[in-house]
Amino acid sequence: MVIGTELMEKVLFKIAKLWIAGKTIDDALISAKEAYQFGRHAIINKLGEYHTSKKEINETMQEYQKIVKSFKKWNIRGAISVKPTQIGLSISQKEYYNNFEKIIHDASISHVFVWLDMESSEHTDDTIEIYNTFFSKYERLGIALQANLKRTENDLHDLLEIGAKIRLIKGAYRENARISFKTKKDVDYNYVKLMKILFKKGNEFAIATHDVKIIQKAQYLSKKYPKKFEFQFLKGLREELKPDLIKKKFVVSDYIPYGVNWLPYSIRRIKERKRNILLLGSSLIQSHRV
């Protein structure tokens, strides 16, 4: 069976729509509004990474600036989540710092929280450095840390020293065995270890995982260590858990990506679960049937 690129893209986009809001800012805001109506907060991310074109970077900047201004008008409890390489890190540190300052400045005027997504390990230092630089000035700023990296325990302790707001994730990038935990068992073990540190020493953090066992452990820890924290999920995942958590008075946020650069993000989501690969296979077969 030979599948044309156009058909492949059509099928992939249909599947991607499980996890992304659509291609435009309005799609993202509509999705955020829906989340809000279900009692959730929204974290909007414009898809795209490793930008080296100034035009692309400027467009990304303008869209984030537009989004932070739109939350109030749309009556949404929202945050944005920015990837360093989408606002200039792939060009220069200077470009990245200048652009980030513009975003965080506008966000702070609109009282919007900004998350720094964490990308692959070659960018960890730069991401932590920019966090340290701006957190002293802007308190509505959080940073994602990846449990699959061996360095993260040290990073977490350092960041907690300054009262940082952490989103704990497992990590979506393939890293080598020298610097990372490779098996699910090891990553999960480290996640729980770091989560315990967060409950004991942190405040205003996010437990961002779809792992039911870990979510249960977090609920248990929250009784022992009452802290301000939230559960974060990617849009479209674990829908069945969210109402129950909200009923129990936990804060739940949906991470809502949008944009035309939907392919790399969607491929990461497909690869995360065997069933998603099967879904892709069966969708391709169905779309090929007349």
Ligand X SMILES: Cc1cc2nc3c(=O)[nH]c(=O)nc-3n(C[C@H](O)[C@H](O)[C@H](O)COP(=O)(O)OP(=O)(O)OC[C@H]3O[C@@H](n4cnc5c(N)ncnc54)[C@H](O)[C@@H]3O)c2cc1C
Q: What is the dihedral of CA 218, 222, 225, 230, to 10 degrees?
A: 90
227 class by beta-carbon count within 10 Å (0-12 exposed, 13-18 middle, 19+ buried): middle
* CB contact at 8 A, 30 and 256: no
Output the smallest distance, CB 205 to ligand X, in A: 12
21 binds ligand X (CB under 6 A): no
Q: Is residue 167 among the annotated active site residues?
A: yes
**How many residues contact ligand X, by CB under 6 A?**
23
209 binds ligand X (CB under 6 A): yes
Output the smallest distance, CB 37 to ligand X, in A: 19
List the one residue out of 171, 166, 172, 176 whose CA is nearest residue 143.
166
List the one residue out of 175, 172, 228 whose CA is nearest residue 198.
228
The 68-107 contact track toward ligand X, x by CB under 6 A, reads ----------------------------------------
Q: Among 54, 66, 184, 193, indicate the residue that binds ligand X (CB under 6 A).
A: 184
207 binds ligand X (CB under 6 A): no
Q: Which residues contact 129 (CB under 8 A, 6 or more apart)?
A: none
DSSP string computed for 188-245? HHHHHHHHHHHHHH--SEEEE---HHHHHHHHHHHHHS---EEEEEETTSSTTTHHHH
Q: Is residue 117 among the annotated active site residues?
A: yes
From 32-40, 70-78, 94-102, 232-240, span contacting ligand X (CB under 6 A): 232-240
For ligand X, the closer CB: 60 or 146: 146
232 binds ligand X (CB under 6 A): yes
List residues near ligand X by CB under 6 A: 117-118, 144, 146, 169-173, 184, 208-211, 232-234, 237, 255, 269, 272-273, 276
Q: Which of the residues are catalytic?
A: 117, 167
